[in-house]
Amino acid sequence: MPTRSSDVSTLAIHGGRTLDPQTSSLIFPLYQTGIFVHDAVGVDKGYSYSRVSNPTVDALEKALGALEGTPPAVCFRTGMAATTTLFLSLLKAGDHAVLSEVVYGGTIRLFREVLDHLGVKSSFVDTSDLQAVESAMTPATRIVFVETPGNPTLKLTDIAGVAPIAKRHGCLLAVDNTFLTPVLQKPFELGADISVLSTTKYIDGHNATVGGSLAARDEVLLERFRLIRKTIGAIQAPFDAWLTLQGVKTLPARLRLHCENAAVIARWLEAHPAVARVYFPGLDSFPQKALAERQQSGPGGIVSFELKAPSETAIKMLNSLKLCLRAESLGGLETLLTHPPSTTHADLDPEYRRRIGISDGFIRISVGLESARDIIADLEQAFAEAGIGAHAQEEPHEVR
């Protein structure tokens, strides 16, 4: 078994490895069962009912815990089930949460449509501004939830800066680490108490499953998450857990290539005359480059950009793609493009959307593992199709 100091590539393959107890099967078996038999009344082997726990889900939880540097994580049917369980576990009526305003739209909807109705208060603030975080704290605040890089503008929050504020107010700090995963960003080493992942994204990496996880160093917290998960029935399914477990093994290798490809695409976009602005932590022009270098060990595979064009042109460009796919979600092998104002962040109030930097021509790319040259060629033809192609004066861009 790898030690705690093992390199992440080794941890991803061997970390928390659960040897099949019976046959030494190299791949942990898929316990596609709902029920486990009791040896006698009240005597079981640790499993009873797959809504509560399942050996295959446990194997995934150990593997994720090893990557996170925590005890086994708690896995859920979806990333939103993980987020929901997190808040239901820690907040009651009258409690208050502080969240990043640049955050996945579903997290905002969870508060607007569900938690607000249960009397839970929230403040969505610019968590990249530590002063704004400090000002948002109230005596009722129980949790600070940051997403960094934030979806979709990739605005960063200084985890190590927010952690002491949360601590001073007796609050827990949760970090949605979906965009980077523990391979590229280690929230616990930066002072966070809870790590949230949509495993649907890079962790699975093959667009084969939906899933989520919560990790923490505190066993009491983890127990609380398991209790609520059992109560609301949000555990991951065995087959999805099994597929995700296979995906984890190639996570570091995949992320290396995702980052590499994303950097090439970001540079190409930055040189394009139709592009007003590119958001990518690996670019020198990225306003929080120093923070990115301090808190991340890679830029990630997401590149966002703004077209100097209205919504219709952005949509026309997306509809002209031939290789890259139009789809929400991110983190898979296939390059996916999305238009957040009309998809992932469509539910938001237009004013809120503009305030956090999602203009009408805003596009997010989840850069896949195709050849960067082919991705660029596809973007090039789609830009041209939308009438915003690079003109002849542009130097052909050198792609590795």
Partner 1 sequence: MKFASKLVHYDPAPGDPFRPMSTPIYQTATFEQQNVDSRGEYDYSRSGNPTRHVLEEQLASLENGTRGFCFSSGMAAIANVARLLRTGDEILADTDLYGGTCRLFSRVLDRSGISVRYADAGDLQSFAAMFTPRTKLVFIESPTNPLLRIIDIAAVADLAHRNGAWLCVDNSLMSPYLQTPLDFGADFVIHSATKFLGGHSDLTGGAVVVKDASLAKQIRFLLNAEGSALGPFDCFLLLRGLKTLKLRIDTQQRNAAAIAQFLQNDPRIKQVLYPGLDGSAGNQLQRAQARGAGSVLCVTTDSVAVSKALVDAVRMFHICVSFGSVHSTISLPGRMSHASLPPEIAAARALPPDLVRISVGIEDADDLIEDLSEALSKARPAARSADIP
User: How many C-beta atoms surround the C-beta of residue 104 within 10 A?
Assistant: 22
**Distance of closest approach, residue 34 Cβ to partner 1, in angstroms:** 7
Parallel/antiparallel/unpaired status of strands 141-147 and 96-100: parallel
49 included as an active-site residue: no
201 included as an active-site residue: yes
Residue type (1 letter), 35: I
Contact criterion met (CB below 8 Å) for 341 and 312: no
Q: What residues numbered 113-142 form the site for partner 1, per CB under 8 A?
A: none
Catalytic-labelled residue, pool 62, 201, 353, 364: 201
Comparison of 59 and 372: residue with beta carbon closer to partner 1:
59
Residue from 15, 55, 247, 252 binding partner 1 (CB under 8 A)? 55
Q: Provide the token pair at 211.
A: 């899933």
Parallel/antiparallel/unpaired status of strands 302-307 and 362-366: antiparallel
- Interaction of residue 5 with partner 1, rule CB under 8 A: no
Alpha helix ranges (H) inside 169-283: 181-184, 219-232, 238-248, 251-270
Residue from 32, 131, 138, 285 binding partner 1 (CB under 8 A)? 32
Residue from 10, 25, 138, 319 binding partner 1 (CB under 8 A)? 25
- Interaction of residue 27 with partner 1, rule CB under 8 A: yes
- Interaction of residue 29 with partner 1, rule CB under 8 A: yes
For residue 63, the SS3 value is helix
Interface stretch with partner 1, choices 42-50, 61-69, 289-297, 363-371 (CB under 8 A): 42-50
126 included as an active-site residue: no
**Distance of closest approach, residue 86 Cβ to partner 1, in angstroms:** 28
- Interaction of residue 319 with partner 1, rule CB under 8 A: no
Contact criterion met (CB below 8 Å) for 165 and 175: no
Catalytic-labelled residue, pool 17, 49, 51, 256: 51
Comparison of 28 and 124: residue with beta carbon closer to partner 1:
28
Contact criterion met (CB below 8 Å) for 384 and 274: no
- Interaction of residue 10 with partner 1, rule CB under 8 A: no
- Interaction of residue 39 with partner 1, rule CB under 8 A: yes
CA distance 212 to 234: 10
Torsion of CA 196, 201, 202, 203, to 10 degrees: 60
Residue from 4, 7, 35, 42 binding partner 1 (CB under 8 A)? 35
- E strand or H helix at 57, and its extent? helix 55-68
**Distance of closest approach, residue 214 Cβ to partner 1, in angstroms:** 24
- Interaction of residue 40 with partner 1, rule CB under 8 A: no
- Measured distance between the N- and C-terminal CA atoms of the chain, rounded to whole angstroms: 38
Binding-residue total with partner 1 (CB under 8 A): 27
Contact criterion met (CB below 8 Å) for 205 and 247: yes
Angle (CA) 12 28 330, round 5°: 45
Q: Name the maximum alpha-carbon separation found in the chain.
A: 80
Which residues partner with 49 through β-bridges?
A: 35
Comparison of 5 and 24: residue with beta carbon closer to partner 1:
24
- Interaction of residue 393 with partner 1, rule CB under 8 A: no
**Distance of closest approach, residue 234 Cβ to partner 1, in angstroms:** 21
- E strand or H helix at 11, and its extent? helix 8-14
Interface stretch with partner 1, choices 24-32, 127-135, 300-308, 368-376 (CB under 8 A): 24-32
Comparison of 21 and 94: residue with beta carbon closer to partner 1:
21
DSSP codes of every residue in 60-115: HHHHHHHHHTSS--EEESSHHHHHHHHHHHH--TT-EEEEESSS-HHHHHIIIIII
186 included as an active-site residue: no
Comparison of 2 and 29: residue with beta carbon closer to partner 1:
29
- Interaction of residue 44 with partner 1, rule CB under 8 A: yes
Which residues partner with 43 through β-bridges?
A: 40
Residue type (1 letter), 242: W
**Distance of closest approach, residue 384 Cβ to partner 1, in angstroms:** 45
Query: Which residues are catalytically annotated?
Result: 51, 104, 176, 201
Write out the residues near partner 1 by the rule CB under 8 A: 19-39, 44-47, 55, 242
